[in-house]
Amino acid sequence: MARVVRNILFRSSVFPSALLPPLKFNDLRLHGGCNFSISASINSKTRKNKVKKVEKSSHSNNSSVINQSKLSQVKRRTRSDKELDEETFLNKYGNDNSAHVPVLLGEVLDVFTSVTLRSFLDCTLGSAGHSSAIIRAHSEMQVYVGLDVDPIAHQLAQSQLKSIIDRNSFDTASALKVHTFLKNFKDVKSVLGEVEDDLLVCGVDGILMDLGMSSMQVNDAARGFSVLKNGPLDMRMNPKATLKAEDVLNSWPADEVGRVLREYGEESNWYSLQNRIVKARLHGGLHSTNELVDLIKNSTSRTKGRQGWIKTATRVFQALRIAVNDELKTLEDSIHASFESLSSGGRLAVISFHSLEDRIVKQAFLNIMNCSEVDRGGVEDEEGKHLRELRKINLDTVKEEAWVKQVIQGHNGTILTKRPITPSEKEETLNPRSRSAKLRVIQKS
Ligand SMILES: C[S@@+](CC[C@H](N)C(=O)[O-])C[C@H]1O[C@@H](n2cnc3c(N)ncnc32)[C@H](O)[C@@H]1O
């Protein structure tokens, strides 16, 4: 059969930029859980060395061994059993140390395999790693929408998508319309409305949120995200936003700084750090990541060595990033907005990178399930009966999918991951950045 190259329509919110609404501070949201201590090195040797080093240091003291074994027990229950082909992986990502490696890629593809993806929305484009693979796997796709709040990621993803689509030929002559937006995913509904009115009415068949930061962002010292690279205390996902990490450190009230460290960093040493940060204001404040790291080193017990201060610094950087980009509230609101934007039978997959994020995803999914009339003991009407039937059909189909282990059935949909899916051991070894990733999936009735 003659293969017909699909006719691609590219539309972007970036060009012309004059058409863009001005981005305000509140437009900027980042949900990142990337471990700052890990650079995005994807050289296989470096990866293996890093894993060995982590193992070595964790075996050097007893409490670490106990923690490690507890962790691996918990992880065993959630680990993906999907095979990862090491050779293919290294061929693809092994030679480029700066490339972003999509996390849990095979697992994400599995999530959408049984769904007819006429439309798909990627809320976190990054370098379009997940998106490219999903587009390739779904030749039925007619509308693709991708968002990123970071202009560098947006531009990179755009050219990546274009080249992927140009290179691929498909069996159908249908036109895939690709729309990319330099937007925050909290604006998901207005973005979909801008694409096509129908999309908001009928809903999107698949939505992905991959919350971590991209390797491009962590590797760029000038963005201020990395504990190990000196740069300005910036941490804005959206460079047009007004609030930077140095503003939080140098001008927020002391107890607000303490709250950020305590609540967003879950840092036990928050009070001492808060005092040191406020004291530093007397000498001109903190303006570079190195200055902040030095302050952390000086307030971390020396007996804990390098691992001690790196862990504290990672928590402090995470806390600041959450505050600067107002990540947690945005995440919660956006999960609800995304679920509402799904079509019947559509799926929302969320990858989180730290426990605060994962808690929000888990709770938001449960809240979505609970807000039903039937669950609250209301009287079931005709619509209720119809939905119940639909849920039964959905559930029967879902049971046939090997990756689905335990589900939670609700009025509005089904949580397909009672427990989150975490990367296989092999993925963790090949891409240490993936090790804190958790994938949760919900399907609309
Ligand atoms: C882990 S990367 C995504 C990588 C992507 N899945 C891939 O395979 O290349 C996360 C991306 O989400 C973007 N991001 C973070 N918070 C956002 C938000 N609130 N709205 C839109 N994009 C956001 C970041 O700028 C970053 O590029």
Ligand 1 centroid to Cα of residue 212, in Å, is: 7
Phi, psi of 382, rounded to the nearest 5 degrees: -60, -40
- The set of protein residues with a Cβ atom below 6 angstroms from ligand 1 is 29-31, 100, 102, 123-124, 126-130, 147-150, 153, 184-185, 210, 212-214, 237, 330
Tell me the C-alpha distance between 342 and 135, whole Å.
18
Given a contact cutoff of 8 angstroms between Cβ atoms, the answer to whether 316 and 268 are in contact is: no
Nearest CA, atom 22, ligand 1: 148
Residues β-bridged to residue 204: 342
Contacts of 254 by beta carbon, 8 Å cutoff, 6+ apart: 274, 275, 278
Per-residue pLDDT at 339 = 98
What is the model's pLDDT at position 101? 96
Of all protein residues, the one whose alpha carbon is nearest to atom 19 of ligand 1 is: 29
Q: Which of 243, 249, 332 is nearest to 296 (CA)?
A: 249
Mutate to test the pocket of ligand 1, among 103, 123, 125 (most ligand atoms within 8 A of CB): 125
Q: What is the DSSP letter of 52?
A: H
Q: Please tell me whether residue 180 adopts helix, strand or coil conformation.
A: strand
Nearest-CA residue for atom 3 of ligand 1: 126
SS3 89: helix
Report the pLDDT value the prediction gives residue 241, as an integer from 0 to 100. Answer: 97
The predicted pLDDT at position 36 comes to 29
Closest C-alpha to ligand 1, atom 26: 126
Q: Whose CA is nearest to atom 16 of ligand 1?
A: 30
Nearest to 317 by CA among 329, 331, 327: 327
pLDDT of residue 303: 66
Mean pLDDT by 10 residues, the chain (445 residues): 38 34 28 31 41 43 60 79 90 82 98 97 97 96 97 96 76 74 97 91 96 93 97 97 98 98 96 98 98 94 75 96 97 98 97 97 94 44 64 67 93 94 96 95 96
Taking CA atoms, 406 is separated from 78, 362, 394, 402, 418, in Å, by 11, 14, 14, 11, 5
Separation CA 239–CA 303 (nearest Å): 38
From ligand 1's centre to the CA of 32, what distance in Å? 8
What is the predicted pLDDT for the residue at 377?
41
How many other C-beta atoms lie within 10 A of the C-beta of residue 320? 26
Q: Which of 237, 238, 326, 350 to mutate to test the pocket of ligand 1 (most atoms within 8 A of CB)?
A: 237
Residue whose CA lies nearest to ligand 1 atom number 7: 129
- Measured in Å, residue 127 CA sits from the centre of ligand 1 at 9
What residue owns the CA closest to ligand 1's atom 12? 124
**Would you say the C-alpha torsion 16, 19, 24, 28 has a positive or negative sign?**
negative
| For the CA of 28, the nearest atom of ligand 1 | 19
Of all helices (H) and strands (E), which one includes residue 336? helix 327-340
Task: Give the H or E element holding residue 197.
Answer: helix 197-202
* Closest ligand 1 atom, residue 29 Cα: 19
Q: Best substitution site from 123, 124, 147, 219 to test ligand 1's pocket, by max atoms within 8 Å of Cβ? A: 124
Model pLDDT, residue 197: 81
Atom of ligand 1 nearest to the CA of 128: 9
| Interatomic CA distance for residues 439 and 372, integer angstroms | 24
Q: Which atom of ligand 1 is nearest to the CA of 148?
A: 22
Ligand 1 center from residue 126 Cα (angstroms): 5
**Ligand 1 atom nearest residue 130's Cα:** 8
Atom of ligand 1 nearest to the CA of 132: 8
Best CA proximity match to 13, nearest among 198, 157, 202, 225: 157
Q: Which residues contact 282 (CB under 8 A, 6 or more apart)?
A: none
CA distance 355 to 362: 10
Buried b (16+ CB within 10 A) or exposed e, 47-64: beebbeebeeeeeeeeee
Q: Relative to the CA of 127, which ligand 1 atom is closest?
A: 9
Measured from the Cα of 327, ligand 1's closest atom is 19
- Cα-to-centroid distance, 24 and ligand 1 (Å): 18
